[in-house]
Amino acid sequence: MATVTRKIGLSLGADICWPLCYEGIMRRLELAIPWNGDSVGVDVERVTIEPFDLRQPCRYDMVLDRLTHWYHTSREWIKKSILMDDLYVLNNPWAVQSMEKQTTYCAMIALGMPIPETWLVPPKSYEPLPDLQPTLKAYAKLFDLSDIGKKLGYPIFMKPYDGGGWKGVSRIDDEPRLRKSYEESGKNVMHLQKAVHPFDNFVRCIAFGPQTYLVKYNPDVPLHDRYTMERDFVSADESRLLRDTTLTINSFFGWDFNSCESLRKTGEGTWYPIDFANPCPDSQVTSLHMHFPWLVKAKLRWSIYCAVTKRKFRKNLDWEPFYAIAADKDRSYRDKLTAYAQIANERYESDRFEEFCHKHLSHLDEVAWEFFGTEKAKAAVRAKVTALFPNHEIEPFTELFWKRIQHWRSLEESRGGSILSA
């Protein structure tokens, strides 16, 4: 039996806390996984940004990417490595590059998802390009913004068609506010979306490969409290629906890691997906706090599985199986969603993945539980807090987030370890 090492690259931006914890737990796992006649270990390395020869080989078996949504050098290196070196990457860089909110809304509407009514409006202003005025004069049709507001009905939300992180999002309750928000939108192409109003539940479903995790979300409080610590806030049936919705979206767009925000309308019970083009979702302890350990473990499980098994990267997005199901007029939407999720489970190799984790990573829960009680883990929390908070808040917020992680440890201890979906 030969001893071989798979190399995982971390392509990072401002990430601080989760890479430190990921690396720390990986070392403690001391992996020696029997696979196809070899004993396979895993080494982790941070990917550097530097010039590269298009023909130079890639030394990684897989890369966990956090840069290609905005840093072009890393994006092009990763795309080159997929095309020429058969690299597996989380997430698909072409999908991240091109599948903005507009595309995701349109695709999921086509699959029958109850996306709130949404309009796209031309930008208020433009870059002064040479052909701008002739084009606008010939083809730009005058429109009455108030008519769109009346058709949608207030309240509505204005947000960039390709945005993220709540940037440029405004709630609009009347026509004066609509006009003011549009005036302030500048060169951004904006969506106007009918609000799910009133709603009685707001859930963010985080997914990593076939692993899903539900968190009740409160957008009206400071960032460190938005991911609430509530439990048992949805029924088992709703949990399945939210999981199936998220896995459908992710597998459709070739994303291993994404999150989906959904609102349940009061008195109606329908869950409306409102934001799900998040293929570089929040991974920081300063917002996730007690949910942070689950995310780190999910990253470890899926990346180790992909690296050790040499999972093949899906270079082409095959949408036809989804559209074939969508075209079946004899099926209810819920039946279609179940069928979409079955495609997702097949593409994520859910059964094979769970078997792999049970056989080769059964010690991860205990190792992670122990790690998140160490000074190294607390130092990772403090490092992230130090990067974001003023000096006088560093210790109070470090202690707050650390206390919440210890609460997670208490819950894990009481239920005897975590599971792949929550």
9 domain residue, yes or no: yes
| pLDDT the model gives residue 398 | 98
Residue appearing with tokens 């606008």: 136
| pLDDT the model gives residue 99 | 85
| pLDDT the model gives residue 417 | 55
Mark whether 210 and 139 lie in a shared domain. Answer: no
pLDDT tens-place string over residues 55-107: 999 999 999 999 988 899 999 999 999 999 999 999 999 998 888 899 999 99
37 domain residue, yes or no: yes
Beta strand 118-121 with 190-194: parallel, antiparallel or unpaired? antiparallel
Kindly state the average pLDDT of the residues 279-304.
Answer: 97
| pLDDT the model gives residue 420 | 52
Mark whether 51 and 67 lie in a shared domain. Answer: yes
Residue 307 host element (H or E): helix 292-309
Cα separation, 146 vs 356, whole angstroms: 56
326 domain residue, yes or no: yes
**Residue 111 scores a pLDDT above 60:** yes
Which residues constitute the domain of residue 123?
Answer: 117-194
162 domain residue, yes or no: yes
Per the model's pLDDT, the better-predicted residue between 169 and 374 turns out to be 374
The answer to whether residues 364 and 356 touch, using CB atoms and an 8 Å cutoff, is no
Kindly state the average pLDDT of the residues 234-246.
Answer: 98
286 domain residue, yes or no: yes
- State how many domains the chain has: 3
Cα separation, 310 vs 304, whole angstroms: 10
Mark whether 164 and 298 lie in a shared domain. Answer: no
| pLDDT the model gives residue 293 | 98
Mark whether 189 and 204 lie in a shared domain. Answer: no
Mark whether 341 and 207 lie in a shared domain. Answer: yes
Mark whether 287 and 399 lie in a shared domain. Answer: yes
The answer to whether residues 255 and 141 touch, using CB atoms and an 8 Å cutoff, is no
* 279 residue type, one letter: P
Pick from 211, 202, 208, 206: which is nearest to 260 by CA? Answer: 206
At 387, is the pLDDT very low, low, confident or very high (cuts 50, 70, 90)? very high
Task: Among 136, 169, 194, give the residue marking a domain's end.
Answer: 194
CATH number of 408's domain: 3.30.470.20
93-to-30, 74, 287, 305, 306 alpha-carbon distances in Å:
31, 10, 25, 20, 17
110 domain residue, yes or no: no
pLDDT tens-place string over residues 322-380: 999 999 999 999 999 999 999 999 999 999 999 999 999 999 999 999 999 999 999 99
Kindly state the average pLDDT of the residues 395-402.
Answer: 98
pLDDT tens-place string over residues 153-168: 999 999 999 877 677 8
Q: Can you read off the two tokens belonging to residue 191?
A: 């969506």
Secondary-structure breakdown of the chain: helix, strand, coil percentages, each rounded to the nearest 5:
45, 20, 35
Mark whether 131 and 86 lie in a shared domain. Answer: no
Task: Among 171, 194, 217, give the residue marking a domain's end.
Answer: 194
Mark whether 66 and 121 lie in a shared domain. Answer: no
**Residue 134 scores a pLDDT above 70:** yes
Give the three-state DSSP class for 33. Answer: strand
**Residue 15 scores a pLDDT above 60:** yes
CATH number of 173's domain: 3.30.1490.20
165 domain residue, yes or no: yes
Radius of gyration of the chain from Cα atoms?
23
Mark whether 225 and 357 lie in a shared domain. Answer: yes
CATH number of 24's domain: 3.40.50
Task: Among 194, 219, 245, give the residue marking a domain's end.
Answer: 194
Cα separation, 41 vs 23, whole angstroms: 14
Mark whether 92 and 17 lie in a shared domain. Answer: yes
109 domain residue, yes or no: no
Mark whether 313 and 173 lie in a shared domain. Answer: no
Mark whether 123 and 204 lie in a shared domain. Answer: no
